[in-house]
Structure 1
Amino acid sequence: MAQTRYVDRTIPRISLADFETRIDQITTELVDAAENVGFFTLIDHGISKEDIEGIFATSSSFFDLPDTTKASVPWNANNVGWEKNSQVRPSTGKPDCKESYQLQFGDNMKGLWIADDHLPGFQATCLEFMHRVQRISECLMRCFARGLGFPEDFFIKCHDASRPDAQTTMRLLHYFALPEEQDGKVYHRAGAHADWDFLTLLFQKEGQSGLEICPGREVVTGFGIGDEWTKVEAKTGEIVCNIGDLLMSWSDDRFKSTFHRVKAPCEAGDYFGDRYSIAYFNQPCKDTLIQGPLKKYPMVTGAEFTEIAMKRNFAALQEK
């Protein structure tokens, strides 16, 4: 196996404190991070460490259920429901060693919330947290709209979480503990990939490391992955955010959707235990019209963009 090359890059840390009075400064910091790294960390975002630990406890309570119970809410093509060992990354050709439960606000979740008989209050707890993360997302959307010269509420309207067909998704993730002793098998947590959404907000648990990023992409239509990785430390109270392919396209490639992975532990100092994280994917309504201010790419709907981006990324990764 080739030795991974690591470099220390500065992942910008951005405070959302006093957002309304500091919106100009925050916009400048977010635009700079989006143009140069594609990743940034939020602090002072209004969700306490205790509340984040609480939603992780709720997530763990779901994953602790028997598989037969979790199978009562199976994954489907609307990007909702539970899956286990089923997501194959073209960069690895093997399934990730994980399970996940994908949750949305609207009609796609009908019949796919785990029943209160199994986990009382689960749906209400998750939706309350999702609405809090949505409010943070909308603050960021206001800044990115200002940075690109759109009306301030432009992206918020495109990602209206109150619509029955809203597609924004919160994904509860459980990566399985892996053996520290070599057993001849190859394991993968999440192979190198770029997100195809607008913006991802990631919650991690202290000490459960593994996230790494690899900048190098200049156009959303290209592969653009380098060979130098930077480790992103896991801290429970912080939110790690990254630009997705959608925002890269919407900015006419000004903002960068950066490749990243959750490394399979294989070296001294790596974390081999169970890893829990929660990813919040901001995805536009299907009928949203998407085109950057410079009109670099043809106008497409939200549904069309998702289909095109997934096909392009998979084809590029397979070729790589």
Structure 2
Amino acid sequence: MEPQYTHVELLTLNGPEYRRVSTAPPRPPTDEEIPIVDLAPIDGDPAARAQLAHQVRAAAQTTGFFYIKNHGIPPELIESALSQAKAFFHQPEELKDDKVSKLKLMHMDGYHAVGTTQVNKTETKDRKETFTLRYNARNDPTQARDSALAWDDSPLWAGTAHLPHFRDTTIAFWQARLALARKMVQIFALALDLPETYFDEVVTHPGSDGLYVHYPGTPTADHLAKDAVDIDVGIGSHTDIQCFTLLWQDMSGGLQVLSAADEWLDARPIPGTLVVNIGDFLQRLSNNRFRSTVHRVYNRQTTSRYSMPFFLGFNPESVCRVLPSCVDEEHPALYEPISCGERVTVSHNVS
């Protein structure tokens, strides 16, 4: 039987873009499509780091997704963060809405309820709820610890003060992922044939969003309300905006990645790993050498799925332009320079 295909529409900076996708069920990826990369050498000598960068380059150029193990974030911290995420989402809706969600109108921190976002306008609304913590210099250990930065007094925390340890654990987990992301930026620089410190000055106060995400269980057909027939995706088909994403996912499954052959791959959970995927910034910077790949989440179980993604971009005032190492006579720059803040703003407006 001949393979069957459809198309998904993506909203991008350059307008609508269409991708062909197979209608076949997701299949397991090969080791080359979504490899496991051991990060143990990330603090090693130059030769070990160069070999690590070679592996990252290969993954970034193939599907743009890979797992990392030995990433250095303590499992106890991950479990504590997950426990806090569950404690937050398990509250009555009015506590989340009344105390936390209004803050999203100011700076995107805080709570978004189920069905309030729709990352792909040609698919259903996203069946998920999120809590977001964005960059704040007060939470960044690399910033000067003067009196002005001594305490994060954001009203975000007033709405969660009744949850023991929520603030401290959430910030600690955000900090651990920011530290790892800054190390990964240096490996990406090496993978792009640049000095490892090339990006350091543009990640001093970067776009860095840490999320807790809860995908409620999908009701069985017998329990679906008549007005709930549009329940479909957990989060619709999309690419990530910024440079790259670090994702912790529970063992429920549901993450699907579009392969180079237009087939959906089942990015199954692997204990002890994080998933890394390339975002739009890195594809743009690399002149399309690295792949920002379409992905989506379906939670077809009756039980909840939890994930904790972290999105890293550059300092908002930085300019995103094609890298000199990715341009030559045969490969001219495919993109005009654009401010990183503008790129994120446009993407938020259309998602």
Which category describes the TM-score, using the shorter chain as reference length?
A: 0.7 to 0.9
Matches within 5 A, 1:234-273: 234-265=269-300, 271-273=301-303
TM-score, normalised with respect to structure 2 = 0.77
Q: Which residue of 2 aligns with 1:76?
A: 105
Q: Which residue of 1 aligns with 2:213?
A: 173
- Retained in 1: the 8 A contact 2:217–2:299? no
- Retained in 1: the 8 A contact 2:127–2:216? yes
Q: Which residue of 2 aligns with 1:209?
A: 253
Question: What secondary structure does 1:142 align onto?
Answer: helix
Give the share of equivalent positions with the same residue, in percent.
Answer: 26
Does 73-82 or 128-137 show the bigger shift? 73-82
- Retained in 2: the 8 A contact 1:105–1:127? no
CA-CA distance at 1:107 after TM superposition: 6.7
Q: Which residue of 2 aligns with 1:318?
A: none
Distance in structure 1 (CA, Å) of the matches to 2:88 and 2:78: 16
With over 3 angstroms needed to count, the CA separation of the structure-2 counterparts of 1:55 and 1:38, relative to structure 1, is same
Matches within 5 A, 1:97-176: 97-106=127-136, 110-115=154-159, 117-160=161-204, 163=205, 166-176=206-216
Distance in structure 2 (CA, Å) of the matches to 1:3 and 1:79: 35
What amino acid maps onto 1:251 in structure 2? S
- Retained in 1: the 8 A contact 2:215–2:299? no
Does 178-187 or 290-299 show the bigger shift? 178-187
Distance in structure 2 (CA, Å) of the matches to 1:307 and 1:50: 35
Q: Which of 284, 290, 293 is the matching residue for 2:320? A: 290
Q: Which residue of 2 aligns with 1:35?
A: 61
- Retained in 2: the 8 A contact 1:114–1:122? no
Q: Which residue of 2 aligns with 1:233?
A: 268
What amino acid maps onto 1:169 in structure 2? D
Question: What secondary structure does 2:180 align onto?
Answer: helix
CA-CA distance at 1:300 after TM superposition: 1.4
CA-CA distance at 1:143 after TM superposition: 1.1
Unpaired stretches in structure 2, ≥5 consecutive residues: 1-5, 7-21, 139-151, 328-332
Distance in structure 2 (CA, Å) of the matches to 1:91 and 1:263: 16
Matches within 5 A, 1:192-203: 192-203=237-248
Distance in structure 2 (CA, Å) of the matches to 1:263 and 1:100: 16
Unpaired stretches in structure 1, ≥5 consecutive residues: 217-225, 266-270, 315-320
Distance in structure 1 (CA, Å) of the matches to 2:249 and 2:136: 25
- Retained in 2: the 8 A contact 1:197–1:283? yes
Cα deviation, 1:223-243, whole Å, max 9, x if unaligned, reads xxx641010112342101100
Distance in structure 2 (CA, Å) of the matches to 1:309 and 1:117: 32
- Retained in 2: the 8 A contact 1:38–1:215? no
CA-CA distance at 1:306 after TM superposition: 2.2
Distance in structure 1 (CA, Å) of the matches to 2:76 and 2:70: 14
Q: Which residue of 2 aligns with 1:223?
A: none
Compute the RMSD of aligned alpha carbons.
2.4
What amino acid maps onto 1:23 in structure 2? R
CA-CA distance at 1:114 after TM superposition: 4.8
CA-CA distance at 1:53 after TM superposition: 1.6
Cα deviation, 1:263-319, whole Å, max 9, x if unaligned, reads 242xxxxx33101100100022210111122343211111122245567x86xxxxx
Q: Please tell me whether residue 14 in structure 1 is matched to residue 37 in structure 2.
A: yes
- Retained in 2: the 8 A contact 1:214–1:228? yes
Cα deviation, 1:29-58, whole Å, max 9, x if unaligned, reads 001000011000000111233332221001
Question: What secondary structure does 1:179 align onto?
Answer: coil
- Retained in 2: the 8 A contact 1:70–1:114? no
CA-CA distance at 1:81 after TM superposition: 1.2
